[in-house]
A and B are shown apart, each in its own frame.
Chain A
Amino acid sequence: MNRSETSRSFTMATWLGWQVESNWTDPFLFAIYVVIKPLATAAILVVMYSIITNGDYASPLFPYIYLGNAFYIYVGAVMTGVSWAVIDDREHYKTLKYMYIAPISIPFYWLGRGVSRFLIGTIAVVITVGVGALFFNLPLNLAQVNWGLFFVSLFVGVTMLAMIGLILASLTLMMAQQNFFVGEAVAGALYLFSGAIFPLEVLPAWIRPVGYAMPITYWLELMRRSLIGGVAQAFPTLAEFSNLQLLGILTGLTLLFGIVSVFTFRWCDHRARERGLIDHTTNY
Chain B
Amino acid sequence: MSNYAIETQDLGRVYKIRGNKKERAIRKELVALEGVNLTVGRGELFGLLGPNGAGKTTLIKILTTLLAPTSGWARVAAHDVSQSPHLVRPRINMVSGGESSGYGLLTVRENLWMFSQFYGMNSKVANERIKELLKMVGLEDRIHTKSSDLSTGLRQKMNIVRGFLTDPEVLFLDEPTLGLDVGASRDVRKLIRGWLDANKSRTLLLTTHYMVEAEELCDRVAIINKGQVLACDTPANLKHKLQRDAIFEVETSPLNGWSPSTLEEQPEVRKAASRQIEGGSKLELILAEESALANVINVLTQKNIKVMRLTKREPTLEDVFMDLVGARMEDMEQGGEE
Interface residues of A (CB under 8 A from B): 1-3, 5, 8-9, 12, 15-16, 19-20, 23-24, 93-95, 97-104, 270, 273-274, 276, 278-279
Say how far A115's CB is from chain B's closest CB, in angstroms.
15
A41→B160 CA distance, assembly (Å): 45
Q: What 1/0 flags go to B153-177 for Cβ under 8 Å of A?
A: 0000000001000000000000000
A24:B66 contact, CB within 8 angstroms: no
A102:B64 contact, CB within 8 angstroms: no
Q: Does B42 contact A (CB under 8 A)?
A: no
A94:B101 contact, CB within 8 angstroms: yes
Say how far A61's CB is from chain B's closest CB, in angstroms.
43
Q: Does B102 contact A (CB under 8 A)?
A: yes
Q: Which of B281-299 contact A (CB under 8 A)?
A: none
The interface-forming segment of B92-100, B137-145, B238-246 is B92-100
Write out the residue numbers on chain B whose beta carbons fall within 8 Å of the beta carbon of A95: 101-103
A8:B117 contact, CB within 8 angstroms: yes
Write out the residue numbers on chain A whose beta carbons fall within 8 Å of the beta carbon of B92: 101
Partner pick for A98 among B67, B117, B162, CB 8 A cutoff: B162
A19→B115 CA distance, assembly (Å): 14
Instruction: Count B interface residues, CB 8 Å.
Output: 31
When A and B form their complex, which 8 residue pairs have the shortest distance between CB atoms, in order from nearest? A94-B101, A1-B120, A103-B90, A23-B105, A102-B118, A273-B68, A274-B68, A103-B89
A99:B118 contact, CB within 8 angstroms: yes
Beta-carbon nearest neighbor of B64 in chain A? A101
Task: Tell me whether A15 and B114 are in contact in the complex, defined as CB-CB below 8 angstroms, given that A24-B105, A94-B99, A101-B93 are known contacts.
Answer: yes
B104:A103 contact, CB within 8 angstroms: no
Write out the residue numbers on chain B whose beta carbons fall within 8 Å of the beta carbon of A102: 89, 115, 118-119
Beta-carbon nearest neighbor of A278 in chain B? B66
Interface residues of B (CB under 8 A from A): 15, 61, 64-68, 86, 89-90, 92-94, 96, 99-106, 110, 114-115, 117-120, 122, 162
A16:B114 contact, CB within 8 angstroms: yes
Write out the residue numbers on chain B whose beta carbons fall within 8 Å of the beta carbon of A276: 15, 61, 66-67
Say how far B213's CB is from chain A's closest CB, in angstroms.
23
Write out the residue numbers on chain A whose beta carbons fall within 8 Å of the beta carbon of B65: 100-101, 273
B114:A12 contact, CB within 8 angstroms: yes
Partner pick for A12 among B89, B93, B118, CB 8 A cutoff: B118
Write out the residue numbers on chain B whose beta carbons fall within 8 Å of the beta carbon of A274: 68
Show 21 A/B contacts (Cβ-Cβ < 8 Å), sorted by A: A2-B120, A3-B120, A8-B117, A8-B118, A16-B103, A16-B114, A93-B104, A94-B99, A94-B102, A95-B101, A97-B64, A98-B115, A101-B64, A101-B89, A101-B94, A102-B118, A102-B119, A103-B118, A104-B118, A273-B67, A279-B61
